[in-house]
Amino acid sequence: MRKRSIISLSFNALSQRKTRTSLTTLGIVIGIMMIVAISSLSGGFKTQISNMLTSGFQADVVTVSTGGLFGGSGVHFEQQDVQNINNFSGVTVATGLQQSQVKIFYGGRNVTAILYGVNFTEFLNVYSSKLTFTNGSLPSPINNNTLILGFSDDPIAQVSQNVTIQFFISGFIGNKNATFEVEGIFDKVGFAGTTIIDHAAFIPLDTLQEFYEKNNVTTYMDTILVKVDDPNLANQVGDEINSYFNGHANVIVASSFINSMQTILNFVTVFLLAIGSIALLVAGISIMNIMLVSVMERTREIGILKALGARNRTVLTQFLTESALIGLLGSLIGIPLGLGVALLLGNLLPGMFSSQTFGGFIGGGGGFGDMGQGLVITPVIDPISIAMAIVFALVITVVFGLYPARKASKLDPVTALRYE
Amino acid sequence: MMEEKIMANKYLIEARGLKKTYKMGKAEVTALSGVDLAVVPGEFVAIMGVSGSGKSTLLYVLGGLDRPSEGYIKIDGIDLATLKDSQLADIRSKKIGFVFQFFNLLARLSALRNVRLPAEIVGASVKEAEKQALEMLELVGLEGRATHRPTEMSGGEQQRVAIARALINKPRIILADEPTGNLDTKTGLEILQLLKRINKENGQALVVVSHDLRVGEMADRTIHLQDGHIVSEKLAERDDCVNECEEEGGIEK
């Protein structure tokens, strides 16, 4: 029997039972829709995240911190450490940072912010390609009371205004104030490595440390930013720094950090795809069920076909074609639906990651929150994964259709003809 | 080559010592208990008998739908026992046309598509099959009903469609199982006349299983089956057959 005849007969059989066929197809549609939506969304999400990370992290900057998100590791950095690292081969510049939380007062308003004590010249050298000023500039020479503000939609103060900063000093009842002059405001950048720039405040490191010393509090730098001559040296320098601190410091090399983030994303994608595949598998089982019922109902038809001289193989092919048509139909409907869902969620999901969830987690000013709001995940339409989805649907339907089809083909013609 | 082979076998159907037993649960039921039968090309054979006499089983076994428990059947000299299932299917599609009591049309297909089916099974293109099917429908007088579905047709019309379907691959043998069993007297007669006409005009051998006495009256030879074996065999006393049929009909014992 020719292909056209078999397909036409199968199509006829399916269209005869419209409700049943559409319900069976629906299972495949949902499975394919999930798989296509997940794969194109996660593709888009991965691109977005890695763009965000590569723009946030500079490949030629190694970040060394005393601890991760979950507390310190017992190590502290001193100026001598920064000097030593500066002398490592391949290091362009190393600079220390000290982080603190403060309240900034101006004109009856106040805002809680993260304050960094930095060596401005070195700091701006490290992030030379990232940090630019919206207003003002770095004064030369730098004054003790120089204050640079990170970007904010509504800055607490403008350039050349004097603000009061209130420091919280642990183990000390009450707060200490100091006055600073706003000399410049950075452009919107979000964050640089692990350093939050937007909404943060920057003062000279010496000023910060002197202030604490004056109050009899010993403090140390908590971060060293190391710029390397070539991004390819980042890993090597990272390793050297790691052994310099005997493994007690937290060394973040941008490329490996991005890689591990992508590994996590890949893992999540595989996990979600597995769920989608289970949906498809369930659809496959329902196809098998429906086809078994169909074979039973059409026993007589099978008997007739055999009496007319159809070979077992022809009967088998016909029933397999019916299953495969369901798979094909299901994926043809499921793919555009999946892409639609991906587009929809790509627009909706980032909105759900609002400042409250993301920024609040970081605390203080929150640099990530603003990035979340403007973010739209553009689904990646990958022809290969779409082709894979179709193949997968066909494989599932054919595999699950095989048993009923074999059952049909093995029917004894006389018994089948007598079947009521 | 083919012609020689056919000439060498003067019987179109040759069956010897056919036995068929079924298992019904634990009991063994004998449907055929030693049947010898031969049919020559162009012959019209009626197989009569009460229900349960084994006549339908005999027809299915002769047509290669079922295999005998013992004995052999040769169709055109080919021993069916030597054939695989797929080859047996090919014999059914090319050499045999079946007509059933309940028509056995596919309800979801139009008359034309029903008739097309056997042609498509042997590999004809849809176009060829359609052309042949239209000819066959014309032959049975249903050219105007091609697009109708079986449910929109009378019993007589459905049986005509079934006959057209049986004829499309121009088989040398037509096997009919109670073709009038589900029709009223008048329609039944029309169907028998149609079968007889095709038999005479096309020279296709016709074996009809029935308990309709008119079938016996029309046939060249009538065989009575009882409890799975032949109890009597009678040649028709008719001018058109007397000379030839007496010589060729029946099996040499």
| A367 pLDDT tier (thresholds 50, 70, 90) | very low
Choose between A261 and B80: higher pLDDT.
Answer: B80
pTM value? 0.73
Instruction: Return the pLDDT at A261.
Output: 80
pLDDT over 80 at A147, yes or no: yes
Instruction: Return the pLDDT at B248.
Output: 45
Instruction: Return the pLDDT at A361.
Output: 35
Task: State whether B109 and A12 contact (CB < 8 Å).
Answer: yes
CB of B165 within 8 Å of a chain A CB? The answer is yes
CB of A301 within 8 Å of a chain B CB? The answer is yes
Set of chain A residues whose Cβ sits within 8 Å of the Cβ of B106: 301, 304
Range name among A312-316, A388-392, B117-121 with the lowest pLDDT average? A388-392
Quote ipTM for the complex: 0.89
Instruction: Return the pLDDT at B73.
Output: 95
Rounded CA-CA distance A372/A350 in Å is 6
Instruction: Return the pLDDT at A409.
Output: 94
Instruction: Return the pLDDT at A360.
Output: 35
Average pLDDT, chain B: 89
Q: Mean per-residue pLDDT for A223-234?
A: 90
Set of chain A residues whose Cβ sits within 8 Å of the Cβ of B123: 1-2
Residues of chain B with pLDDT under 70: 1-9, 237-253
Instruction: Return the pLDDT at A349.
Output: 73
pLDDT over 90 at A419, yes or no: no
Instruction: Return the pLDDT at B8.
Output: 52
Closest in A5, A304, A414 to B104, CB measured: A304
Choose between A69 and A213: higher pLDDT.
Answer: A213
Range name among A66-70, A308-312, A355-359 with the lowest pLDDT average? A355-359
Range name among A110-124, A211-225, B188-202 with the lowest pLDDT average? A211-225
Instruction: Return the pLDDT at A383.
Output: 87
Task: State whether B92 and A307 contact (CB < 8 Å).
Answer: yes
CB of B98 within 8 Å of a chain A CB? The answer is yes
Q: Distance (Å) from the C-alpha of residue B243 to the closest C-alpha of chain A?
A: 35
Instruction: Return the pLDDT at B97.
Output: 96
Range name among A74-83, A219-228, B153-162 with the lowest pLDDT average? A74-83
CB of A313 within 8 Å of a chain B CB? The answer is yes
| A356 pLDDT tier (thresholds 50, 70, 90) | very low
| A354 pLDDT tier (thresholds 50, 70, 90) | very low
CB of B25 within 8 Å of a chain A CB? The answer is no
Residues 177-236 of B with CB under 8 A from A: none
CB of A415 within 8 Å of a chain B CB? The answer is no
Task: Look up the CATH number of domain B41-67+81-237.
Answer: 3.40.50.300
Closest in A300, A301, A309 to B93, CB measured: A309
| A74 pLDDT tier (thresholds 50, 70, 90) | low
Task: State whether A2 and B123 contact (CB < 8 Å).
Answer: yes
pLDDT over 80 at A198, yes or no: yes
Instruction: Return the pLDDT at A353.
Output: 57
Range name among A154-158, A199-203, A275-279, A376-380 with the lowest pLDDT average? A376-380
pLDDT over 60 at A72, yes or no: no
Q: Mean per-residue pLDDT for A239-261?
A: 84
Q: Mean per-residue pLDDT for A76-92?
A: 90
**Structural domain boundaries in chain B:** 41-67+81-237
Closest in B85, B93, B123 to A308, CB measured: B93
Q: Mean per-residue pLDDT for A325-347?
A: 92
CB of A381 within 8 Å of a chain B CB? The answer is no
| A259 pLDDT tier (thresholds 50, 70, 90) | confident
